Chain A
Amino acid sequence: MARVTRRKFLKVSGAGALTAKAAGMAGILATSRAPAYAQATTVHWLKWNDFVPAGDQLLRQSMLAEAEKALGFKVNLETIGLNDLQARATAAIQSKSGADIIMAFNNNAQLYAESCADVSDVCEELAAKQGGFYDLAKAQSHDGKKWAAVPYCIIGALIAYRKSWFDEIGVTKFPETWEAYREAGRKLKAKGRPIGQGLGHTVGDSPAFWYPFLWSYGGREVEADGKTVKLNSKETIESVKFAVGFWKDAHDEGGFSWDDSNNNRAFLSGTICASLNGASIYIEALRKPDQYKTEKGAQMKGDILHAPLPKGPAGQFGVHPFQNHMIMGYSKNQKAAKDFLRWFHSPAVYEKWFIVQKGFATGPTKTWEDHKVWNEDPVMAPYRVAGRLGRVYGYAGPAGQKAAEVLSKYIIVDMYAKAAQGMAPEEAVKWADGEVRKVYGG
């Protein structure tokens, strides 16, 4: 074998690269060598570690290979923790390099809209074929001028509760109003089975509970014009006053420091009676039926039901964590990335992923409400229409930059936390109103 010295290698590869750059295909043919940097298209897809691990397994084991076969290019999937997604997106946008497709959570795509490729063509096509997107999907993916991200899925947030424990206190149907829920919670807490709800700085469960709670009393951070701040109102104060007693009477006070996984652990270990959550508690109980058992030794999966958040004086609302995919403006593979998302959301392909989610993630378009998966397990049935009932953070204003700032500063959540920790409700609302005004410039 001929010996290749370092000098010779550099000379040859350098010459190849220079020639290719300068003379294109003719140069490559002249040197009879492919340039060192020539590469096939690969789409880099960055998303979270799915709370339903079977979803990522399916992607890795078969779907990405199918994508390569169907589209003619490779899709490189990278999964990271939910809390790290924003840091990665920020670094990628600022350095103009990184993944071609990045998953965004809730209204984050609105923060990065200027750095996203226009995916209106993909979204309009999907909407036309699949019965249209839910309002909450459009509100968080469309910046008013263009679709900045392709809606991926909605994670329904409903209350998971222990049916037998509610039955024991004579509540055979899940409470429909906050008063009834508080009363049931009070009785259950007295028996050492409190309601478990996060009231801290978490991305998912805490805001998904306390924002709809505020709305159900008629409170709101800003009017529909997105400018007039109106948090300090009679309705908000009423909601905070109720929350203080509700927290003390019925809740596990450890919730001040819970993250988004604490309630899952507490529920599955039998220390709380109910908690607002995605379906992951139930799905975990299904996955390991012999590990999670009731105090009577029965499988816990048979004692879990789901219900929407109760009603307040102004109505019944919910926030359902939402995910979409941004194709980054800096990406050189935008066309391939669009082709991939188009392919992924085609009914025959998306259905495979949708089925393994077992209802934890529902489709962003209305057509998925009619899927047979909803008939398979009545416990999951309430998640079927979760997308219809959801509002977006920032209501009554738009789900844009300002709403994201109020959310990420946890102003609404902390308003309730401060009051629950002893601050007068009026003071807590006044504080929060002041902070929200600074954000909206009011």
Chain B
Amino acid sequence: MAIAQATIVLPAKSRTRLLEDERWLAFALLVPTAVLLGLFIAYPFVNGIWLSVTDTRVGVPGEFVGLKNFYKVWNDSIFRVAVWNTCWYTLVTTVFKLSLGLWLAMLLNRSFKGKAFTRAFILLPFIIPTVLSTFAWKWMFDPTFSVLNWMLFQIGFITKRVNWLGDPDLALVSVMVVNIWRGVPFYAITLLAGLQTISPELNEAAAIDGARPWQRFWHITWPLLLPVTMVVTLFSVIQTFADFQLVYVLTGGGPANATHLFATYAYQLGVGTGLLSEGAAISLAMFPILFLVVIVQLLYIRRVEVR
């Protein structure tokens, strides 16, 4: 009851007057967002930084150890493999997702029968929960019962089965294939939205002037689509760089660490071994690389927009 008495109740008039002041209104409108960002982004991030400079284990509060964890992971050969894998994985999948997504968007931008249905259908890989679709892929790559091997064998492409997830090189390629399969619809639909903002008159005018399809794409479509492309790529790079589920389900980082990414190795150390501080250090090691990529891309987007 004491609480109720202590509450300061402003008269309705003065409350309205306060919100008429733009500074207060802006503040009031920003508070929910700031609280959400603070709770779910800033706090975990700051907590992650703190963990990485301590020797915290699960259930054991740590003490400050400076950069010891970073030194340890830097000298860890599995970490180096994970760094290389993550960069290579992100680069290759991004190139493929962008090219295939753009190609698909151009096709979907044309008029044909069943256009709406096809557009919805294309989104399926993106809609299905990742873990579920990845399990389906796991079955397709199964060393004993692979449907892919069966098909390739039936059409005479292979004479003995391919060890999709057991061969170190093929395993990373297989994981990339699944990532590309899942990521292409996101590119396709977003780029399609971008394509639809480009006035058809521009292309028609160029066609009348004798421009070939490739010239029309290169001089009209691509420059106008570039800002959207850059934003999509930015999102995709961030997501791919921090990918976890695909590798966790398909290979668990194996064989012999050939498919470990930052996130899977951080999980292995943080949760599997209880070394929260080292797991945090590995996760944070992602940050400078990602930060650099994002800055470069954002600067580029700004330049494109100004132009």
Q: Are B164 and A257 in contact (CB under 8 A)?
A: yes
CA gap between A417 and B255 in the complex, in Å: 7
Q: Are A202 and B252 in contact (CB under 8 A)?
A: yes
Instruction: State whether A256 and B77 are in contact (beta carbons under 8 Å apart), knowing that A94-B59, A200-B166, A265-B144 are contacts in the complex.
Output: no
Main secondary structure of the interface of A (DSSP, over half): helix
Stretch among B222-230, B232-240, B265-273 lining the A interface:
B265-273
Instruction: State whether A257 and B273 are in contact (beta carbons under 8 Å apart), knowing that A111-B58, A269-B144, A408-B268 are contacts in the complex.
Output: no
* Interface positions of B from 58 to 108, Cβ below 8 Å from A: 58-60, 72, 75-78
The size class of the interface chain B forms with chain A is: 35 or more
Residue in A90, A200, A258 whose CB lies within 8 Å of B58: A90
B274 surroundings in chain A (CB, below 8 A) = 90, 111-112, 401, 404
Chain B 249-280, CB within 8 Å of chain A: the 1/0 string? 00111111100000000001111111110000
Residue in B59, B78, B166 whose CB lies within 8 Å of A257: B166
Instruction: State whether A414 and B273 are in contact (beta carbons under 8 Å apart), knowing that A202-B252, A265-B144 are contacts in the complex.
Output: no
The size class of the interface chain A forms with chain B is: 35 or more
Stretch among A27-35, A71-79, A378-386, A430-438 lining the B interface:
A430-438
Is B125 positioned at the interface, with any CB of A under 8 Å from its CB?
A: no
Smallest CB gap from B170: residue in A:
A257
CB of A24, distance to nearest CB on chain B (Å)? 18
Is A409 positioned at the interface, with any CB of B under 8 Å from its CB?
A: yes
Q: Are A262 and B144 in contact (CB under 8 A)?
A: yes
Residue in A256, A329, A401, A438 whose CB lies within 8 Å of B166: A256
CA gap between A94 and B51 in the complex, in Å: 12
Instruction: State whether A410 and B254 are in contact (beta carbons under 8 Å apart), knowing that A90-B274, A257-B165, A265-B145 are contacts in the complex.
Output: yes
A418 surroundings in chain B (CB, below 8 A) = 256
Chain B 143-185, CB within 8 Å of chain A: the 1/0 string? 1110000000000000001011111100100000000000000
Chain A 232-276, CB within 8 Å of chain B: the 1/0 string? 000000000000000000001111111100100110010100000
B273 surroundings in chain A (CB, below 8 A) = 111, 401, 404-405, 408-409
Is A114 positioned at the interface, with any CB of B under 8 Å from its CB?
A: yes
Q: Are B272 and A86 in contact (CB under 8 A)?
A: yes
CA gap between A434 and B164 in the complex, in Å: 29
Is B243 positioned at the interface, with any CB of A under 8 Å from its CB?
A: no
List residues of chain A with CB under 8 Å of any chain B CB.
18, 86-87, 89-90, 93-94, 111-112, 114-115, 199-202, 252-259, 262, 265-266, 269, 271, 329, 401, 404-405, 408-410, 414, 417-418, 421, 431, 434-435, 438
